Amino acid sequence: MGHHFVPQFYLRGFEADGGIWAHDFQRRISFASQVKTIANETKLYSEKLEMRLAEQIEEPANSALLKLRTREVITLEEKLALARYIIVLWKRVPKARQRALDRLPQVADEVQTELEAELDALSLAEPAKKAHYEKLKVRAAEAIAQQKANPAADLWHGSIESQSGFKLDQALLSMNWVFLYSEKMQFLTSDNPVFFFEFEGISKPTSELTFPISSNVCLWATRTQAPSGEFLQASTAAIKEINRRTAQSSHRWVYSKSNEKWVLPFVLKKDWPLSRLSLAGP
């Protein structure tokens, strides 16, 4: 069994009778499984990172997840832990790895350009060492080319707990948190369960974030006027919109409590038009 990129404790909020349904849009199939056997990948993290994630990120937030599943109010400390959990979860899943790899060539080129400019400046300041600086430029170019061709895993690992995450934590905490619940319809989750419109992030006045807590509770973080911290019954339209987000942002897998006949076709569509949420509905 590999490292879970979506924590097992979180996934248990979407199981029933010890099982959970997995929907694979690549193979176009659905099947019953167990939490311990899904959402994991062999050697995804180092053992050190896996331990840090479990002890420093997951464990502090589990009490908040447990309370929210039964619609209990969480403490400020639990809210802080959950905000950190949500941001790190967004950064630790396979889709985040793909985002990092997609950006790597651009970042590497920028680093190489800056480094060569610095070496050229040193060469002008010390003409006698020009040959030395030219050799350094060649070595740097070779090292960067190697990283672009075969990226080291720790480049992505380092981004999971980078200092930039703290700013995202604070941005999320500054939003109004509303907990939408449903007693009849189910919220889906996925291998990339944190959703926001990435073109605007979570700091703009129009930003919002959704994160399914369980099959019947979902966090809606918004910058519009909303009763922060309260539990509100979700409209059918809102549940459908949140599930569209979950399906569309998934990397490969969507998970559900039950295998209702609409779920797999819903997952396979994958190109849902998405809209904003409001207390009056999407």
pTM over 0.85: no
pLDDT (0 to 100) of residue 252: 94
Domain ranges (residues) in the chain = 3-22+30-97+158-269, 98-157
Q: With both helix axes pointing from N to C terminus, report the angle between 76-92 and 164-173 in degrees, rounded to the nearest 10.
A: 130
Count of other CB atoms within 10 angstroms of residue 89? 23
pLDDT (0 to 100) of residue 106: 62
Distance CA 135, CA 147 (A): 19
Distance CA 259, CA 243 (A): 14
pLDDT digits (tens, 9 = 90+) for 21-34: 999 999 999 999 99
Q: What value does the mean pLDDT take over residues 50-56?
A: 92
pLDDT digits (tens, 9 = 90+) for 185-196: 999 999 999 999
Instruction: With H, G, I as helix, E, B as strand and everything else as coil, classify residue 94.
Output: helix
Q: Please give the DSSP secondary-structure letter assigned to residue 125.
A: H
pLDDT (0 to 100) of residue 1: 59
Judged against a pLDDT cut of 80, whether residue 207 lies above it is answered with yes
Q: Measuring CA to CA, which residue among 121, 151, 119, 144 is closest to residue 132?
A: 119
